[in-house]
Amino acid sequence: MSFLLSAHSSHYPHEIFMDANATTPVLPALQELMSKVYQTHYGNPSSPHYAGIRAKRVLNDTRNAGAHLFACEPDQIIFMSGATEGINTAVLSVLQSYAGGKGKGCYLLYSATEHKAVPEALRHWNTLLQVEAEVMAIPVDREGQIDLEFLRAHVGDALMICTMGANNETGVYCDLAALEREIRALRSDIPWLVDCVQMLGKRPIALGKTTIDYAPFSAHKLYGPKGVGALYVRTGAPFTPLQTGGGQERGLRGGTENVAGIAALGQIFTWLNDRAISPFQDSETLYGYRQTIIDALQSAFPKLTLNQPLDRSLATTINFSVAGYSSSELIAIFDAAGIRVSAGSACSTGGARSFVLDAMGLPTWQSEGAIRMSFGPAFSQADLDTLCERLTFIRDKITGANPWGQGALYIPDPMTSGSAWIMCRTTQQALALTDSPDVMQGIESCCPETDWQIQVWNKESQDFAGFRLHREANGVRITALATERSIQLTDAGIVVAHTPSPKLMAVSEFNCEQMTFIDVREQSEALAQYHEYPSPCLQTIPRALWCDYVLRAEPEGSPRPIFFCRSGNRATEVARLALSVGWQDACACNAAASEVFDWLRRQKTPVE
């Protein structure tokens, strides 16, 4: 606990959080409100005394504010821990009637781009209750809209249908009125769940004027606390409590209510009901912000492709890919600039590609390289200006001249590829070890000048720009003439001699006076580093220059070198490479680069 407190006590003014579809920071006004509720409305809402009545009033006020917002009755709103609980409650409520095989031969329909909480809930309760229905995804088109022909062909045999109000990855929203007409023309009785999580505060949702049966919400998607939300349930819709207990929520959801969290949710509802007192920007302003961000992104990345139809998606969501970059590389670039983005849903970070974009039929490179940049309606002009400033910084750094000295050995993928070249800036000559397109493109990216002379190594012993190349049976040995350190490079990458594994160090073991910190980055990450280095004992080495550094640097007599980066594995690889060529005391850090930078920053300016 003490570590968590010390970590969160520091302030990060450099951070621009652009992952609002995953969660949002709690607004100060809501923090203050919750603190007050904790102090003054601490009673149990089920207690008959005045302290309990005061707490109960908070629940009633929030329910009334939600009813006004959704054009429904207050008793149609049930407080829950969030949307996932609401989804599971809705699915259980429908499927419990079909337990024991009564759903055999029928379908449980959901849109193919649905948040994974929905199909997982359908599969879970279908199996647990032995309903024996078939869980089936409704295909979508390239704009993320439901295939109505498929819907018409299968809804007649469906037990339930689940759709999204707005998609969490692409921001694509549904014309719920048009979809309602389609569904109800075919089945007036089918239970219908609509995930409205991303719609709150961004699209109008008069649920009481629709035939939607269930709609879940989460407060933390709109600047409220995590762990509180609500489920709208249409009068007459099947309902079975997911959890029972002391009869709270009129017996519909057992467990003592989170009064402070519900108060924050109520304030959000109140703001949405009265824009005059709301901290949220209007739709026109938000769409203007989005276009400004897109313009800045396209300036930084000319090969950027949008993965969403702008005229059918939320103003607060931008989903894009950049040709030649994976999503992990782009996240690293943005992270280095203090911009927090994601590759998709925060609940699906283990995936290598976007199942949403796959369902939309977009090309593999777009799915594997997708980035979601999302902001909330409280995003300000000052936030926008800072974001655009950093995107301009990224543009200038990535497209600028190479900053790493007059001559160097470049190996873009030291551990997996034999591609390499040597550059000499004093003579403006480059020596390519092969004439492969990857090598030639790499050289051109390092030297945009037109008068560079490029030659290809002829496989004979040769000295070039401080290195000696000597052909061996399965590759080439490259020796730095100044230090006589050497590496063996094969088609499969560097051959690392058998050496003891480097020591792994924790942040708590650091000592600025006795260590040199070496940030091992992808080239694009290093170029995009936004903040000033927090310590004079810090160096940054891009991946393509690992070998150049370990062959030519002079660590002897300097503080103990410790390598770190976003990936602990990468830091260990470089430290192991350094040991194999003769470094005496190379170590690796098992903490993330952001943790190391934060630690160094606190040493420079201690947190009070």
Q: What is the pLDDT of residues 238-278, one digit of tens each?
A: 999 999 998 899 999 999 999 999 999 999 999 999 999 99
* C-alpha to C-alpha distance for 107 and 135, rounded to whole angstroms: 6
pLDDT of residue 526: 61
* C-alpha to C-alpha distance for 225 and 222, rounded to whole angstroms: 9
Q: What is the pLDDT of residues 519-559, one digit of tens each?
A: 887 666 666 654 455 566 777 787 888 898 889 887 655 67
Closest by CA to 591, choosing from 510, 536, 512, 526, is 510
Token look-up 């519909």 returns 252
Give Cβ neighbours of residue 161 (< 8 Å, ≥ 6 apart).
109, 110, 151, 155, 183, 190, 191, 192, 193
Angle of helix 259-273 versus helix 50-70 axis, rounded to 10: 40
- How many other CB atoms are there within 10 angstroms of residue 426's CB atom? 8
For the segment 171-182, the average pLDDT, to the nearest whole number, is 96
Whether the Cβ atoms of residue 41 and residue 263 lie closer than 8 Å to each other: yes
Token look-up 């000559």 returns 429
pLDDT of residue 508: 81
pLDDT of residue 539: 77
* Domains of the chain with CATH codes: 76-258 (3.40.640.10), 283-399 (3.90.1150.10), 407-495 (no CATH), 503-604 (3.40.250.10)
Chain centre distance of CA 457: 43
pTM assigned to the model: 0.73
More confident residue, 13 or 237: 237
User: The tokens of 473 are what?
Assistant: 């049976």
Q: Report, as residue numbers or ranges, the catalytic residues.
A: 347
More confident residue, 570 or 28: 28
Whether the Cβ atoms of residue 372 and residue 19 lie closer than 8 Å to each other: yes
| Per-chain mean pLDDT for the chain | 87
Kindly calculate the radius of gyration of the chain based on its CA atoms and give it in whole angstroms: 29
Beta bridge partners of 357: none
pLDDT of residue 91: 98
Q: What is the pLDDT of residues 122-142, one digit of tens each?
A: 999 999 999 999 999 999 999
Closest by CA to 159, choosing from 237, 97, 66, is 97
Residue 187 has pLDDT above 90, yes or no: yes
Q: What is the pLDDT of residues 31-60, one digit of tens each?
A: 999 999 999 999 999 999 999 999 999 999
pLDDT of residue 240: 96
* C-alpha to C-alpha distance for 399 and 505, rounded to whole angstroms: 35
Beta bridge partners of 477: 470, 488
Residue 361 has pLDDT above 90, yes or no: yes
- Which 3 state secondary structure label does DSSP give 242? coil
* C-alpha to C-alpha distance for 139 and 136, rounded to whole angstroms: 9
Whether the Cβ atoms of residue 517 and residue 538 lie closer than 8 Å to each other: yes
Whether the Cβ atoms of residue 243 and residue 204 lie closer than 8 Å to each other: no
* C-alpha to C-alpha distance for 58 and 320, rounded to whole angstroms: 42
Residue 1 has pLDDT above 50, yes or no: no
Handedness of CA 194, 196, 198, 199 (dihedral sign): positive
